Structure 1
Amino acid sequence: MEIPRVKVAVIGGSALSGSGFPGEFDGVEVMEDGLEYSTPFGPTAPFTHARLEGVEFLFVPFHGITPKIRNTIPDSASERVFYVLMKAGVKKILGCALCGSTNRLLDPGDVIIPDGFVDYTTRRAQSLTRSLIEKGIQVEPVMYRLHQPFCPELSRLLTEASLEVGFQRVFRRGVVGISEGPRLESPSEIRIRYTSQGIDVVTMNLIPEVIFAREIGACYATLQLVSNYGEGLVSKEWEGPEVFKEFQERWRRPVAEAILRALRRIDPDYEGCGCGKHRWRAIFP
């Protein structure tokens, strides 16, 4: 199956699950759905190729993870997704996820548009180029820095859109800590690893998405919705998974609306953000 040439992509997360994004929202034209592409790492999760007010985009749900892909070792969901985005020529990527608060000033329902991250994962790929070379695919090596890991222009669009759809507290900056998972953190881990180190929220996603985006030369920004307090952050008894489910069902459509509002305003060819200057052809092989 041929990968279309598209400059914009949305990588969905748990914050979008069950929202009907993108096809059930006004103004979205689904051009093709259920697109599973072949990659050197195996077949992808189903993509959607859609158009919104003249802007074509690719969408993949839940970070490209399916039950089958989740059970592969190593988990190559991100390699599969970003191989497709690289071949498509994607230059702008919007992401989203639920996260836990590790900052006592942040509450469930708050939105963080982060400007920094700390990677606490231990088993995830750190280079799409290296992963491709290990598969026998020759690609031009690049070097890049993560001085500005999140695109300021895309982050601005997500901030404005989040406020417009009704989120009461939207923070234009914050540091995300990324845990390996799949388990949740202990109270001691929240206190010592995250809160005491200046981490505002913790999630299991974002890595390697933010790294791979820079590697393929794409701008990246993410909407992180606080769904819960980290273990031990506040004195509160566990209320069970139903509370989490109700929270996600309440906010998934506003998250989708925020993503769509940002999509409407994206200029796929805009380079004034400066993200491009942080990536260059490798000097050494």
Structure 2
Amino acid sequence: MINSHFITMNKQHLLPIKESRLGVIGGSGFYSINKIDCHEEIEVNTPYGKPSDSIRLFKTGNLEIAFIARHGRTHKLNPTEIPYKANIWALRSIGVRWIIAPSAVGSLQEQIRPLDIVIPDQFIDRTHKRPATFFNEGAVAHVTMGDPFCMNLSGILCNVSEENIPGGRQLHRGGTYLAMEGPAFSTRAESNLYRSWGCSIIGMTNHTEARLAKEAEIAYSSLSMVTDYDCWHQTHQEVSVEMVLENLRANTEVANKIVFEIAKVIDKKRPQSKSHSSLKDGLITQKENIPSFTKEKLKIFTDSYWG
């Protein structure tokens, strides 16, 4: 069943944590949750245009999971074309306060092997065509990004992943995610530059989502699943679409299992996060000086501060 969901009708962003939803943004190869059945599908209209796809709702225990395919379920959007602001706004508008982001990444370090899992705790931004903030058009906010991923949620994700990772693979707790624009893969010179910076993995999407999720007061954590060694590894075959797709298929089942298991933990713990109040000291512009159309777009994030 597909329902249409409008900004003027929505109050679910005000749900208390104990009633909030878990969001899952599925990356390349991960286009649905296969452990449980979808019980509802909704279209969300946002001030930033249409999201990547409709949002499918799943339920485990007392927790609803809101799933959206980052690139669309037919993978029609390249990393630059993804409507990041619409996706994050839509998830927050239906009461999502935690996001797990399964994502395909390349490894920039020898010890991080293809099919390993990394839960990064930092990123470096090398994108240049992305929306970096919700706060413009007459409203300014500066959120702290010292810890761009939610440490509490990432800790839970690490524990769940460690318990569910298949034999022969390794979980890496922490690491720096290098965000590149894409859609082409790196040159060898770029890849070696990022290695020299100490980066752990390279991807094209998580940095943008993490920034916007912090402004939306959503705890965000990346489940980064390694598909290849990028192109720096001279003794390993050069990264190709075929290699990536093969490893994506191998990773999808693991990602589904981890998402299903962490949902059970979130249902039980409903973990609080500093991200849930990240705008508290970040709002700069006084509300009386903000244009009404801008306040309307931002109200799902700022109601508790601006009234």
Q: Sort the TM-score into its range (normalised by shorter chain).
A: 0.7 to 0.9
Task: Quote the Cα distance in structure 2 between the aligned partners of 1:284 and 1:179.
Answer: 31
Separation in structure 2 between the aligned mates of residue 65 and residue 144 of structure 1, nearest angstrom: 32
What displacement does 1:149 show?
1.3
What runs of 5+ residues in structure 2 fail to find an aligned partner? 13-19, 287-307
SS at match of 1:118: strand
1:122 corresponds to: 128
Of the three residues 87, 90, 98, the one matched with 2:104 is: 98
Give 1:64 deviation, angstroms.
5.2
Query: Which residue in 1 is equivalent to 2:188?
Result: 187
Compute the displacement of 1:243 (Å): 3.1
Please tell me whether residue 41 in structure 1 is matched to residue 42 in structure 2. no
**Residue in 1 that maps onto 2:5:** 2
SS of match in other structure, 2:59: strand
Q: How far 1:83 moved relative to its partner?
A: 1.7
Distance 1:161 1:12 in 2: 18
2:146 equivalent to 1:147: yes
Q: CA–CA distance in 2 between the matches of 1:236 and 1:69?
A: 29
Q: What corresponds to 2:303 in structure 1?
A: none
Q: Distance in 1 between matches of 2:275 and 2:190?
A: 33
Question: Which secondary structure does the structure 2 equivalent of 1:36 belong to?
Answer: strand
Q: How far does the alpha carbon of each residue in 1:119-156 deviate from its partner, in whole angstroms, 9 at most, with x for none?
A: 100110100232xx48xxxxx75431011211122112
Assess, with a 3 A threshold, how the Cα gap between structure 1 residues 275 and 36 changes in structure 2: closer, same or farther.
Answer: closer
Distance 1:160 1:234, change over 3 A: farther
Which runs of no fewer than 5 residues in structure 1 stay unpaired? 135-139
Kept in 2: contact 1:82–1:212 (CA 8 A)? yes
Correspondence 1:14 to 2:20: no
Alignment-derived partner of residue 298 in structure 2: none
Check conservation: 2:101, 2:223, Cα contact below 8 A. Answer: yes
SS in 2 for 1:144: coil
Matched, 1:166 2:165: yes
Summarize deviations over 1:174-200 as a string: whole Å, max 9, x none. Answer: 0000000011101111012x1001111
Q: What are the Cα deviations for residues 55-105 of structure 1, in whole angstroms up to 9, with x where unaligned?
A: 01211013558666659xx83511111121232232111111111111122
Tell me by how many angstroms 1:7 deviates.
2.9
Number of aligned residue pairs: 267
Q: Secondary structure at the match of 2:142?
A: strand
Partner of 1:30: 38
Amino acid at match of 1:219: A
Q: Which amino acid aligns with 1:31?
A: H
Following TM superposition, the consecutive aligned residue runs of length 4 or more in structure 1 with deviations greater than 4 angstroms are 63-71
Root-mean-square deviation (CA, aligned residues, Å) is: 2.5
Partner of 1:137: none
The aligned amino acid for 1:36 is E
- Cα distance in 2 for partners of 1:173, 1:46 equals 32
Q: Deviations over 1:148-172 (max 9, x none)?
A: 2111221122212222223431011
Q: Secondary structure at the match of 1:195?
A: helix
Which residue of 64, 69, 76 maps to 1:61? Answer: 69
Which one-letter code corresponds to 2:70 in the other structure?
F
Q: Which one-letter code corresponds to 1:177 in the other structure?
A: L
TM-score (norm 1): 0.84
Q: What is the DSSP-based 3-state SS (H/G/I as helix, E as strand, rest coil) of the residue aligned with 1:104?
A: coil
Q: Could you say if the C-alpha distance between residues 15 and 117 of structure 1 is closer, same or farther in structure 2, counting changes exceeding 3 Å?
A: farther
SS of 2:254's equivalent in the other structure is helix
Looking at structure 2, the residues matched to 128 and 278 of structure 1 have their Cα atoms a distance apart, in angstroms, of 14
Aligned-partner residue type, residue 9 of structure 1: G
Structure 1 residues 230 and 69, CA gap change in structure 2 (3 angstroms): closer
Q: Deviations over 1:229-263 (max 9, x none)?
A: 02122323347543332222122111111111111
Query: What TM-score results when the alignment is normalised by the length of structure 2?
Result: 0.78
